[in-house]
Amino acid sequence: MHHWLHFLDKYSSPMQILLFAGLLCICWNIENIAGLAFNYKKWRHAFVNAGFIFTNIPVQFLLGFAFIKTIQWTGEHHFGIMRHLHLGHIAFFKQHYFIKVILLFTITFVLLDLGEYIYHVIMHKVKRLWMFHIVHHSDNVVDVSTTLREHPGESCIRLCFTLIWVFLTGAFFWALLLRQIVQTFATLFAHMHYRLPQKIDSIVGLVFITPNLHHVHHHFKQPYTDTNYGDVLSIWDRLFGTFQKMPEEKLIYGVDTYMRNNEIANFKSLIKIPFGKYRKAKH
Protein backbone atom coordinates (compact mmCIF):
# COMPACT_ATOMS: atom_id res chain seq x y z
CA MET A 1 0.00 0.00 0.00
CA HIS A 2 2.82 2.42 0.87
CA HIS A 3 4.47 1.80 -2.53
CA TRP A 4 1.16 2.45 -4.29
CA LEU A 5 0.63 5.75 -2.47
CA HIS A 6 4.21 6.80 -3.22
CA PHE A 7 3.60 6.07 -6.91
CA LEU A 8 0.54 8.35 -6.87
CA ASP A 9 2.55 11.14 -5.24
CA LYS A 10 5.36 10.89 -7.80
CA TYR A 11 3.34 10.65 -11.01
CA SER A 12 0.22 12.66 -10.12
CA SER A 13 0.48 15.39 -12.79
CA PRO A 14 0.98 13.21 -15.90
CA MET A 15 -1.61 10.75 -14.59
CA GLN A 16 -4.23 13.48 -14.25
CA ILE A 17 -3.52 14.85 -17.74
CA LEU A 18 -3.70 11.40 -19.35
CA LEU A 19 -6.82 10.50 -17.34
CA PHE A 20 -8.65 13.67 -18.32
CA ALA A 21 -7.71 13.29 -22.00
CA GLY A 22 -8.73 9.64 -22.00
CA LEU A 23 -12.06 10.21 -20.28
CA LEU A 24 -12.79 13.20 -22.52
CA CYS A 25 -12.32 11.01 -25.61
CA ILE A 26 -14.51 8.25 -24.16
CA CYS A 27 -17.32 10.66 -23.25
CA TRP A 28 -17.01 12.40 -26.63
CA ASN A 29 -17.57 9.10 -28.42
CA ILE A 30 -20.44 8.10 -26.14
CA GLU A 31 -22.10 11.39 -27.10
CA ASN A 32 -21.55 10.56 -30.78
CA ILE A 33 -23.05 7.11 -30.43
CA ALA A 34 -25.82 7.50 -27.87
CA GLY A 35 -26.08 11.21 -27.13
CA LEU A 36 -29.00 13.57 -27.59
CA ALA A 37 -30.00 14.59 -31.10
CA PHE A 38 -27.36 16.91 -32.58
CA ASN A 39 -28.56 20.28 -33.79
CA TYR A 40 -25.24 22.11 -33.51
CA LYS A 41 -21.75 22.00 -35.02
CA LYS A 42 -19.95 19.95 -32.40
CA TRP A 43 -16.36 20.50 -33.53
CA ARG A 44 -16.80 24.28 -33.89
CA HIS A 45 -18.44 24.40 -30.47
CA ALA A 46 -15.59 22.39 -28.94
CA PHE A 47 -12.98 24.59 -30.61
CA VAL A 48 -14.27 27.70 -28.78
CA ASN A 49 -14.30 25.90 -25.43
CA ALA A 50 -10.89 24.33 -25.98
CA GLY A 51 -9.33 27.79 -26.08
CA PHE A 52 -9.62 27.93 -22.31
CA ILE A 53 -7.13 25.07 -21.97
CA PHE A 54 -4.30 27.43 -22.88
CA THR A 55 -5.41 30.24 -20.54
CA ASN A 56 -5.94 27.90 -17.58
CA ILE A 57 -2.73 25.83 -17.75
CA PRO A 58 -0.52 28.62 -16.28
CA VAL A 59 -2.99 29.19 -13.44
CA GLN A 60 -3.14 25.49 -12.56
CA PHE A 61 0.63 25.12 -12.86
CA LEU A 62 1.40 28.02 -10.51
CA LEU A 63 -1.21 27.10 -7.91
CA GLY A 64 -0.06 23.48 -8.07
CA PHE A 65 3.06 24.56 -6.17
CA ALA A 66 0.87 26.25 -3.56
CA PHE A 67 -1.03 22.99 -3.03
CA ILE A 68 2.21 21.05 -2.53
CA LYS A 69 3.55 23.58 0.00
CA THR A 70 0.21 23.74 1.84
CA ILE A 71 -0.03 19.96 2.19
CA GLN A 72 3.59 19.79 3.32
CA TRP A 73 2.92 22.45 5.98
CA THR A 74 -0.26 20.82 7.31
CA GLY A 75 1.62 17.52 7.53
CA GLU A 76 4.63 18.97 9.32
CA HIS A 77 2.48 20.96 11.77
CA HIS A 78 -0.21 18.31 12.19
CA PHE A 79 -2.87 20.86 11.22
CA GLY A 80 -6.41 20.27 10.01
CA ILE A 81 -9.38 18.00 10.65
CA MET A 82 -7.88 14.92 9.00
CA ARG A 83 -4.66 15.21 11.01
CA HIS A 84 -6.52 14.89 14.31
CA LEU A 85 -8.58 11.75 13.70
CA HIS A 86 -5.87 9.55 15.31
CA LEU A 87 -7.08 6.41 13.57
CA GLY A 88 -3.59 4.99 13.82
CA HIS A 89 -3.99 4.63 17.58
CA ILE A 90 -6.97 2.30 17.20
CA ALA A 91 -5.96 -1.38 17.27
CA PHE A 92 -8.47 -2.37 14.58
CA PHE A 93 -6.95 0.04 12.03
CA LYS A 94 -3.41 -1.04 12.92
CA GLN A 95 -4.40 -4.55 11.84
CA HIS A 96 -6.52 -3.46 8.87
CA TYR A 97 -4.52 -0.73 7.17
CA PHE A 98 -6.50 -0.95 3.92
CA ILE A 99 -9.79 -0.23 5.74
CA LYS A 100 -8.13 2.74 7.44
CA VAL A 101 -7.11 4.13 4.04
CA ILE A 102 -10.65 3.69 2.69
CA LEU A 103 -12.13 5.46 5.72
CA LEU A 104 -9.65 8.35 5.48
CA PHE A 105 -10.40 8.74 1.78
CA THR A 106 -14.17 8.65 2.34
CA ILE A 107 -14.04 11.35 5.02
CA THR A 108 -11.71 13.49 2.90
CA PHE A 109 -13.94 13.00 -0.15
CA VAL A 110 -17.10 14.09 1.69
CA LEU A 111 -15.41 17.15 3.23
CA LEU A 112 -13.93 18.30 -0.07
CA ASP A 113 -17.21 17.73 -1.89
CA LEU A 114 -18.99 19.89 0.69
CA GLY A 115 -16.36 22.55 0.04
CA GLU A 116 -17.06 22.42 -3.70
CA TYR A 117 -20.79 22.83 -3.02
CA ILE A 118 -20.17 25.90 -0.84
CA TYR A 119 -17.82 27.38 -3.43
CA HIS A 120 -20.38 26.85 -6.21
CA VAL A 121 -23.15 28.57 -4.24
CA ILE A 122 -20.87 31.55 -3.51
CA MET A 123 -20.01 31.90 -7.21
CA HIS A 124 -23.72 32.23 -7.96
CA LYS A 125 -24.60 34.62 -5.12
CA VAL A 126 -21.76 37.19 -5.31
CA LYS A 127 -22.35 39.40 -8.36
CA ARG A 128 -18.75 39.89 -9.51
CA LEU A 129 -17.92 36.23 -8.95
CA TRP A 130 -21.03 35.29 -10.90
CA MET A 131 -19.68 37.34 -13.80
CA PHE A 132 -16.68 35.01 -13.95
CA HIS A 133 -18.89 31.92 -13.61
CA ILE A 134 -21.23 33.15 -16.37
CA VAL A 135 -18.57 32.23 -18.92
CA HIS A 136 -19.19 28.57 -18.10
CA HIS A 137 -22.97 28.93 -17.90
CA SER A 138 -23.28 30.92 -21.12
CA ASP A 139 -22.66 27.83 -23.25
CA ASN A 140 -25.87 27.28 -25.22
CA VAL A 141 -25.08 23.58 -25.68
CA VAL A 142 -23.90 21.47 -22.76
CA ASP A 143 -21.55 18.65 -23.72
CA VAL A 144 -18.17 17.32 -22.52
CA SER A 145 -16.33 20.30 -24.02
CA THR A 146 -18.28 22.56 -21.64
CA THR A 147 -16.06 21.24 -18.84
CA LEU A 148 -13.17 23.12 -20.50
CA ARG A 149 -15.12 26.39 -20.60
CA GLU A 150 -13.83 28.08 -17.45
CA HIS A 151 -12.49 31.62 -17.34
CA PRO A 152 -8.89 31.73 -16.03
CA GLY A 153 -10.09 34.16 -13.38
CA GLU A 154 -12.56 31.58 -12.13
CA SER A 155 -9.90 28.87 -12.26
CA CYS A 156 -7.78 31.00 -9.94
CA ILE A 157 -10.71 31.69 -7.60
CA ARG A 158 -11.77 28.04 -7.54
CA LEU A 159 -8.29 26.71 -6.86
CA CYS A 160 -7.66 29.31 -4.14
CA PHE A 161 -10.91 28.32 -2.44
CA THR A 162 -9.99 24.63 -2.72
CA LEU A 163 -6.54 25.47 -1.33
CA ILE A 164 -8.12 27.09 1.74
CA TRP A 165 -10.40 24.07 2.17
CA VAL A 166 -7.45 21.67 1.86
CA PHE A 167 -5.63 23.74 4.47
CA LEU A 168 -8.55 23.62 6.92
CA THR A 169 -9.23 19.92 6.44
CA GLY A 170 -5.57 18.91 6.44
CA ALA A 171 -6.26 16.58 3.52
CA PHE A 172 -3.54 14.07 2.66
CA PHE A 173 -2.05 14.45 -0.82
CA TRP A 174 -2.93 10.91 -1.95
CA ALA A 175 -6.55 11.37 -0.82
CA LEU A 176 -6.78 14.71 -2.62
CA LEU A 177 -5.38 13.13 -5.78
CA LEU A 178 -7.82 10.21 -5.69
CA ARG A 179 -10.65 12.65 -5.06
CA GLN A 180 -9.60 14.64 -8.15
CA ILE A 181 -9.63 11.46 -10.24
CA VAL A 182 -13.23 10.76 -9.20
CA GLN A 183 -14.11 14.43 -9.69
CA THR A 184 -12.70 14.41 -13.23
CA PHE A 185 -14.92 11.51 -14.22
CA ALA A 186 -17.97 12.97 -12.45
CA THR A 187 -17.55 16.41 -14.07
CA LEU A 188 -17.21 15.02 -17.58
CA PHE A 189 -20.12 12.65 -16.99
CA ALA A 190 -22.39 15.40 -15.63
CA HIS A 191 -21.80 17.62 -18.68
CA MET A 192 -22.27 14.93 -21.31
CA HIS A 193 -24.77 15.61 -24.08
CA TYR A 194 -26.54 12.50 -22.90
CA ARG A 195 -29.26 11.61 -20.41
CA LEU A 196 -29.69 8.50 -18.30
CA PRO A 197 -32.95 6.53 -18.55
CA GLN A 198 -35.37 7.92 -15.97
CA LYS A 199 -35.43 4.79 -13.80
CA ILE A 200 -31.63 4.64 -13.59
CA ASP A 201 -31.38 8.38 -12.96
CA SER A 202 -33.88 8.19 -10.09
CA ILE A 203 -31.59 5.68 -8.35
CA VAL A 204 -28.15 7.07 -9.18
CA GLY A 205 -29.36 10.64 -8.58
CA LEU A 206 -30.16 9.83 -4.96
CA VAL A 207 -26.44 10.12 -4.20
CA PHE A 208 -24.63 11.42 -7.29
CA ILE A 209 -25.02 14.33 -9.70
CA THR A 210 -26.11 12.90 -13.06
CA PRO A 211 -26.31 14.59 -16.48
CA ASN A 212 -30.07 14.78 -15.99
CA LEU A 213 -29.62 16.79 -12.79
CA HIS A 214 -26.71 18.96 -13.89
CA HIS A 215 -28.46 19.92 -17.12
CA VAL A 216 -31.16 21.55 -14.97
CA HIS A 217 -28.43 23.68 -13.38
CA HIS A 218 -27.53 24.89 -16.88
CA HIS A 219 -31.11 26.00 -17.70
CA PHE A 220 -31.04 29.61 -18.86
CA LYS A 221 -33.40 31.10 -16.26
CA GLN A 222 -33.67 31.23 -12.50
CA PRO A 223 -34.66 29.63 -10.20
CA TYR A 224 -33.32 26.55 -12.03
CA THR A 225 -29.87 28.10 -12.55
CA ASP A 226 -29.57 28.25 -8.76
CA THR A 227 -30.21 24.55 -8.17
CA ASN A 228 -28.23 21.28 -8.26
CA TYR A 229 -24.94 22.88 -7.22
CA GLY A 230 -23.42 19.53 -6.24
CA ASP A 231 -20.02 18.61 -7.62
CA VAL A 232 -20.02 14.81 -7.28
CA LEU A 233 -22.65 14.19 -4.60
CA SER A 234 -26.27 15.31 -4.84
CA ILE A 235 -26.82 14.91 -1.09
CA TRP A 236 -25.90 18.53 -0.35
CA ASP A 237 -28.61 19.86 -2.67
CA ARG A 238 -31.16 17.61 -1.01
CA LEU A 239 -29.93 18.60 2.44
CA PHE A 240 -29.85 22.37 1.83
CA GLY A 241 -32.99 22.61 -0.33
CA THR A 242 -31.37 23.37 -3.70
CA PHE A 243 -32.37 20.13 -5.42
CA GLN A 244 -34.56 20.38 -8.53
CA LYS A 245 -35.66 18.30 -11.50
CA MET A 246 -36.91 19.44 -14.90
CA PRO A 247 -38.22 17.64 -18.00
CA GLU A 248 -35.72 17.42 -20.83
CA GLU A 249 -38.06 19.01 -23.37
CA LYS A 250 -38.25 22.23 -21.31
CA LEU A 251 -34.50 22.74 -20.99
CA ILE A 252 -32.87 25.72 -22.67
CA TYR A 253 -29.13 26.05 -22.05
CA GLY A 254 -27.31 29.29 -21.41
CA VAL A 255 -27.88 32.43 -19.33
CA ASP A 256 -30.79 34.75 -20.09
CA THR A 257 -28.55 37.83 -19.83
CA TYR A 258 -26.04 36.45 -22.34
CA MET A 259 -27.85 34.81 -25.22
CA ARG A 260 -26.38 36.66 -28.22
CA ASN A 261 -24.17 34.42 -30.33
CA ASN A 262 -21.51 37.09 -30.88
CA GLU A 263 -20.91 37.13 -27.10
CA ILE A 264 -21.11 33.45 -26.20
CA ALA A 265 -19.40 31.86 -29.23
CA ASN A 266 -16.41 34.17 -29.44
CA PHE A 267 -13.39 33.47 -27.24
CA LYS A 268 -12.28 37.12 -26.95
CA SER A 269 -15.78 38.22 -25.95
CA LEU A 270 -16.01 35.48 -23.34
CA ILE A 271 -12.71 36.52 -21.74
CA LYS A 272 -14.02 40.11 -21.39
CA ILE A 273 -17.39 39.23 -19.78
CA PRO A 274 -16.27 39.29 -16.09
CA PHE A 275 -14.92 42.83 -16.49
CA GLY A 276 -18.06 44.26 -18.05
CA LYS A 277 -21.18 45.72 -16.47
CA TYR A 278 -23.32 43.39 -14.36
CA ARG A 279 -26.60 42.49 -16.06
CA LYS A 280 -29.57 41.83 -13.87
CA ALA A 281 -31.41 38.55 -14.53
CA LYS A 282 -34.55 38.84 -16.63
CA HIS A 283 -37.92 37.76 -15.27
pLDDT in tens, 84-142: 886 666 656 566 667 888 889 999 999 999 999 999 999 999 999 999 999 999 999 99
**Which three-class secondary structure state does DSSP give residue 185?**
helix
CA distance 185 to 227: 21
CA distance 163 to 44: 34
Tell which residue, 19, 115, 12, 111, has the closest CA to residue 64.
Answer: 12
For residue 192, the model assigns a pLDDT of 92
Residues ≥6 apart with Cβ < 8 Å to 236 = 113, 114, 117, 229, 230, 242
For residue 83, the model assigns a pLDDT of 86
The answer to whether the beta carbons of residues 52 and 211 sit under 8 Å apart is: no
For residue 282, the model assigns a pLDDT of 66
Reported pTM: 0.89
What average pLDDT does the chain have?
88
For residue 1, the model assigns a pLDDT of 46
Low-confidence ranges of the chain (pLDDT < 50): 1-2, 4-5
CA distance 204 to 209: 8
